[in-house]
Amino acid sequence: MIAAQQYYIDYGPDMILERLQSLLPSYIPDSCLQGGKSLNYWMQGVVNGHKKSYFVRDRVPPLKVKCQAQRILADLTEEIVILMMPFVDRVALEA
């Protein structure tokens, strides 16, 4: 879970529930928090994701986890751009 990863990057392997509860609105979109699922639902998901993660289990340095997350995001962004190119070209031709 991305929220568990962000918590690890920000605060390391020790999960403090009070801290997580205060940070949860910055990790989870408002639309998800206002939906049918409670704050406790999301907290439980982040706590479980944190406990089961490779970065907690293997004690990966938070900076390395951040770099890996940034690399994944860059790769996904590049893939999205590649996938969108035919549509962008078509719209440009129609204009």
Over residues 72-78, the mean pLDDT reads 89
Q: What is the mean pLDDT of residues 45-56?
A: 95
Sorted by where each begins, the domain ranges of the chain are: 2-94
pLDDT score recorded for residue 87: 76
More confident: 35 or 43: 43
For residue 24, give the nearest of 49, 47, 42, 2 by alpha carbon.
42
Q: Domain 2-94 maps to which CATH number in 1.20.1250.20, 3.20.20.140, 3.40.710.10, 1.20.80.10?
A: 1.20.80.10
Residue 30 has pLDDT above 60, yes or no: yes
CB 15 within 8 A of CB 47: yes
